[in-house]
Amino acid sequence: MSTFHLVVALCLGLTLLANGSPKECMTTVEGYTWEYDTIMDEAILEVDTVDLCYNACADDTECQGYTWTNGGVVPTCYKFMHQLQGYHQCVACTSGVISQSVDGACSAEYDDILDVGPANTVEECIEFCAEKEGCQAYTWWDNTSAFINTCFLYGSCSNQVECHACFSGRINCIITPPDQCVNYMVLDDATRSVNHGGCGENGGDECYCDHRRYTFISPDWQGPGNYRIMSSAGSRLPESSPGYYHCGTHRSGWLRGEHPQDIYAEKNMTVCFDYGSNDCGREADITVTNCNGYYVYLLPDTPGCSARYCVTQ
């Protein structure tokens, strides 16, 4: 049964009940935002309300999401014009994503229609979809249509038919990353570079290790835990050995294997420590998370001193 056949059935007395379900999709979030690109993204000053910020993004077909904040000198609206990444906390802010408009009314078989209910505005219809498990699309009929202020929810909207006085779209959701992508420590010491010597070799005098029981502990090492690399020397662990006596240490630590490619994927991996005669003389088991624009590493203390995690671009 198509959408319009269903509408006829409704007119004849068939009723669909709007059953409640757990909220599966967030379209707004408080206290979080994404990484801002000063070249691609746009900041608009003196935007007094979050609704005005939403409208500014919704009116721009290239806008992927927005953040409104009144935590600065003046209330500001940030429009993100690229893939949303680098999810992190912000002060006095509200962020959201915009649904993708679709021409016409969604046309689907009966099984693809998840629910039908009243909605006075298209925004209410979008919220209705966001709260319905499995909802991916919606069609809202306004008060000038034959189906006054009615919202249809769909599992998909692959087919559309021409309509008047209706508004359709595919909903976008804020993907909440794993906790380690938001709460982490930072490795930022530039001497971790694969190009930096170590312990007197190749011009370096440092002999650091990532182990809190030893005297020459790295200045940025805080013990086992989740770390993001944010150094001028790089942003990730190297996938090949830089060689013995590098990275401000004796035994250079490198990642055996490739980083996970899927967003928010976690991968159990091994860090090798180069012992000169053996580039994997000792090992450490770690977990790597792809945090959509950067990696976070669950790292243990290194196996003794001097051994250290290296970084590269």
Q: Find the mean pLDDT for residues 148-177.
A: 91
Position 173 scores a pLDDT of 86
pLDDT, one tens digit per residue, over 106-118 is 987 777 789 999 9
Position 78 scores a pLDDT of 98
Task: Name the nearest CA neighbour of 219 among 229, 228, 208.
Answer: 208
Position 127 scores a pLDDT of 87
Binning pLDDT at 50, 70 and 90, where does residue 134 land?
Answer: confident
Q: Find the mean pLDDT for residues 171-197.
A: 92
Binning pLDDT at 50, 70 and 90, where does residue 205 land?
Answer: low
On whether the CB atoms of residues 249 and 243 are closer than 8 A, the answer is no
Position 24 scores a pLDDT of 60
d(CA 141, CA 147): 6
Which pTM value belongs to this model? Answer: 0.68
- Average pLDDT score, the chain: 88
231 CB neighbour count, 10 Å cutoff: 18
* Residue 302 per-residue DSSP state: P
Q: Is the pLDDT of residue 291 over 70?
A: yes
d(CA 209, CA 158): 56
Q: What percent of the chain has pLDDT over 70?
A: 90
CATH class of 3-25+101-170: alpha beta
List the single range of 195-204, 245-254, 298-307 with lowest mean pLDDT: 195-204
Longest dimension (CA), the chain: 87
Position 5 scores a pLDDT of 39
Position 230 scores a pLDDT of 96
Please report, for the chain, the start and end positions of each structural domain, with discontinuous segments joined by +. Answer: 3-25+101-170, 28-98, 178-313
**CATH architecture of the domain with residue range 28-98:** 3-Layer(bba) Sandwich (3.50)
On whether the CB atoms of residues 78 and 42 are closer than 8 A, the answer is yes
Binning pLDDT at 50, 70 and 90, where does residue 15 land?
Answer: very low
